[in-house]
Amino acid sequence: AELGQMLVMNAGSALTVLPDLAPAYFIRAWGSYLLDSADPTIKADLQKAVELAPDDALYAEALAMWP
Q: For 14-64, what is each residue's pLDDT tens digit?
A: 999 999 999 999 999 999 999 999 999 999 999 999 999 999 999 999 999
Would you state the pLDDT for residue 25?
99
**pLDDT score of 1:** 75
Determine the structural domain holding residue 47 and report its residue range: 2-65
Say if residue 3's pLDDT is above 90.
yes
Give the contacts of 20 (CB within 8 A, at least 6 positions apart): 52
Q: What is the pTM of this model?
A: 0.95
Provide the domain count of the chain.
1
CATH number (domain holding residue 21): 1.25.40.10
- The values of phi and psi at residue 8, to 5°, are -65, -45
Show Cβ contacts of residue 22 under 8 Å, excluding neighbours closer than 6 positions: 48, 49, 52, 53, 56, 59
